[in-house]
Amino acid sequence: MIRHAMRTLCAATFVAVPLALTVTPAQALTSCTVNGRPVSGSTVNGTAGSDYISCGALAQGDSVNGSGGSDYIVINGIVAGTVDGGAGNDFIMANAGTTVSGRILGGPDGDSILVGPNAGTVDGGAGTDFCRVASGNPPVNC
């Protein structure tokens, strides 16, 4: 009886272990500093005032929102998610060598957007904007 129970337990283990190994990993969180404070998550928000936001890579599905005020937003890694400056005269930069495959949105007012290779969307939004794209898709509303 004990021997039969052990064989059943071993057989169940061989079936359950491969199932446990096929679990999809969770999405990586975007890591930033907002006004000098570390913030991480799939959505990183600035304040209603002017902010300094600096982030590493921005994963697909993640977003960085400047909100109101004249924000300074720098992305130091691949931009696969969305950067939205929001209202205000924002400065948004994806560092040279960083590929944009997501979206960079200036929002209303006069914004400055600087990116390297662009395979995504760079949209200055409403207002008089300055956009510079090193290569790839041209910016719109700039």
How many Å separate Cα 97 from the centre of its chain? 16
Does 35 reside within a domain? yes
pTM greater than the 0.85 cutoff:
no
Query: Mean pLDDT, consecutive 10-residue segments, the chain of 142 residues?
Result: 48 44 55 97 96 96 96 96 97 90 96 97 96 97 94
Please say whether the beta carbons of 96 and 114 come within 8 A.
no
- Which pLDDT belongs to residue 108? 93
pLDDT of residue 98: 84
Has residue 88 been placed in a domain?
yes
Q: Is residue 107 part of a domain?
A: yes
Residue 129's domain comprises 26-136
Q: Is position 84 within any domain?
A: yes
Residue 126 backbone zone (phi > 0: left; psi -120 to 50: alpha; other: beta)? beta
Q: Is 3 part of a structural domain of the chain? A: no
For residue 137, the model assigns a pLDDT of 97
Count the domains in the chain: 1
